[in-house]
Structure 1
Amino acid sequence: MVQQLTPNQTGIFYPDSDGQPMADNTLQFEWIVTIKENLEIIFADQADVFVAGDLLWYPIEGDNKTRRAPDAMVVFGRPKGDRGSYKQWEENNIAPQVVFEILSPGNTIREMAGKLEFYQTYGVEEYYLYDPYTKDLGGWQRIGDHLTVIPEMDQWVSPRLKIKFKSALGEKLKIFRPDGSPFLTSVELDNAKKQAELAQQQAESERDVERERADRLAAKLRELGIDPNEV
């Protein structure tokens, strides 16, 4: 990731990159992209919902050291659009309400504890942490001033996102959109689109065949002196 520096009016620079890779491996990357892109699809028609992946979030003006880059985050009340980083004071001081983190083997307990503390301190309402290797999903929901562990994540429905998590012990996480359709990878989405197009083509072909059959029958009836409209 190329590091860019963005100054504010006071001359303080807010890097657009922390110099860390978005993901450490293909499995982590696939989950990050899948979650971020499906959230984009869910809120595509809502102009005031901003979704981002691996975007540095600066909560305090004048402080370029306090920052995090959630693997995916959702901000209600902010417009869509490109950003080099999310500077909260330039966003009506609205903090991301929902964040996701996908674990990699390189993540440490200290690192993840630091992230939880950051999200609790700066106003996140829902925090979801998934380990694709152990298939373990954790969730925290803000109650008062604290992010509190969600006791059971299987069948949990996000209050903000309205998405459902299916997290049975030892099974791969499944996430469902508010309409009940599953989160899919880009390849799965493309295959689903192709299948839908093929089904539509087959249905149209069947309708064409049926129309041709009806036209032949009507022509035959006319040859026999029968009005097909009266049959």
Structure 2
Amino acid sequence: MAITPIFLQKSKKVVPYPTAIQWMKNYVQKIFDGKAAECLWFLEHPPLYTAGTSAKESDLFNPQNFPVFHTNRGGQWTYHGPGMRIIYVMMDLRKPHPTFPDHDIRAFIHKLEDWIILTLQQFNIAAEKKEGRVGLWVTDPVTKKEKKIAAIGIKLSHWISWHGIALNINPKLENYSGIVPCGLKEYGITSMHELGINTSFDTIDQVLCQAWQQVFVYSLKLRSPPSDLMVDQDS
């Protein structure tokens, strides 16, 4: 099997959520039509709440009056905001890949989880998958309670993936107080910063890229998107 690079796009400033959704929707259609390559998009959003297809309205409180968006991704309520590395993953699952079979969403999500686990291992953070709970979890060294450090919510359109992963680097954790995150009241939310890891987005991104190549085999090629797909970097 020929291994081709995956296109990597990085936005330096926060991107409005509607802008990101429209861009992904258009890009996924181009992948389906054979007019665009598979793509990862690293970005940040301004503070907001999103509801997945399983979200309950009773789990939204929103005392901060953040914007609220109902999405077509899987999962329940989550928060997005500065200090989180958002990773949107646009992959064509119609075709076989080196480390997971075609048309297998479960295997694909497991690989995404492995990718973030390996990334966090490089910072001496032991993240784990938990049966029946989406996302990645760590044990707080002080309270010994399990807390979520990364959320995963994927949507498939014609077997092309979009939406993706939110990794907590140093967001304002108090902003999660406006929702029941992922519908799980008994668990907390944490971040790399809360666990004692102070690092930059550039360092995180470098480790993410290295771990991606180990888990997925594909290399990542950083380049500007075609002009008709350009996202306003100053948004």
Query: Is the pair's TM-score, using the shorter chain for normalization, greater than 0.5?
Result: no
- Name the structure with the higher helix share: 1
The structure with higher relative contact order (CA 8 Å, sep 6+) is 2
Instruction: State TM-score, norm by structure 2.
Output: 0.24
Structure whose CA Rg is larger: 1
